[in-house]
Amino acid sequence: MKAVYTELHRSHDPQFYLVRGVVKRTTEQPERADRLLAGLKVGNHELVAPTHFGQEARARVHSPEYLNFLEEAWEAWAALGDAGTEMIPNMHPVRHAATYPTHIVGRLGWHTIDTSAPIGPGTWEGACAATDVATTAAQLLLDGEDAAYALCRPPGHHAYRDIASGFCFMNNSAIAAAHLRQRHERVAILDVDVHHGNGTQGIFYERPDVLTISIHADPAHYYPFVWGYAHERGAGAGLGANLNIPLALKSGDDTYLKAFETAAKTIHAFAPGALVVALGLDASEHDPLKGLSVTTPGFRRIGGAIARLGLPTVFVQEGGYLSDILGQNLTAVLAGFEAAR
């Protein structure tokens, strides 16, 4: 399986992370990519540089106002003269009868849900590179590859059409799916990150052509807290095209694989032409965020289960944070997929 990667992700190096009122260094660090690259090396995966797809691919998913904001944000922030080294919102308008702001502080609040997506001087470059990585992996499928892996950083599945949150700025998995939709009438997104893919759900919630499924830690006790419940099934034309499978905290391999069986039945019934896997590795028993308890052999089983769906598949990297076993878990997922193919 080919793996798409670029060093441009390193321009995004966030520092700020607020955890229960305590400021810490974020777990979404450039070093994540180094550990994932080590896992790819063990698996003998060929690295491919991304093609530059530009705004066209991003604009299939994100609004013009949001893309303009992200591109202009740092320069406008720096021009204030007395601003900090990262853009952290101090307001989050709920948009009830609200007017879109023109001031950068107002726009920052408008386009963010929480404080965990700090914008720095290199964030736009890094986020754009991630969308090119995801789109290139999707294009590899359109060009005839059976599967491809996109090492995206920053991740994307918490990003909505016009909102950043949870380390995410642009929704790489959604962008990959939208690119695949150019050829396939229906595409499925299977999110196996420990957190609910709330941004992905929001983007496609009223669309019948993209099935969104997320297996994740129960949001009653875990981020994002207000999305990810089983009763959220889509709306309008998209009713029934969203499936959430929340799991009890610390659930392990067998519970996870049982949930996967439910997801697989839904995917088969939807009959998509291609599959995007939003590949979070933070369900690991060793991940610092401690949501679920999937083992490294469990990740190999997950990879095999994905392969048995029998679909052209793009793996888009989402979560998975700094642990000694991060690279091994990536190796395990991809090896399990390839062995069962």
Positions annotated as catalytic residues are 158
Query: Number of helices and strands (H, E) in the chain?
Result: 10, 10
Helices (H), the chain: 31-42, 55-59, 64-78, 104-110, 123-142, 172-180, 198-204, 253-270, 296-307, 326-340
What CA–CA distance (Å, rounded) separates 219 from 290? Answer: 13
Measuring CA to CA, how many Å separate 304 from each of 40, 246, 297, 327?
17, 21, 11, 18
DSSP string covering 324-339 = TTHHHHHHHHHHHHHH
Report which of 47, 50, 45 is spatially closest to residue 1, judged by C-alpha positions: 45
What CA–CA distance (Å, rounded) separates 50 from 274? Answer: 20
Report which of 289, 299, 341 is spatially closest to residue 320, judged by C-alpha positions: 289
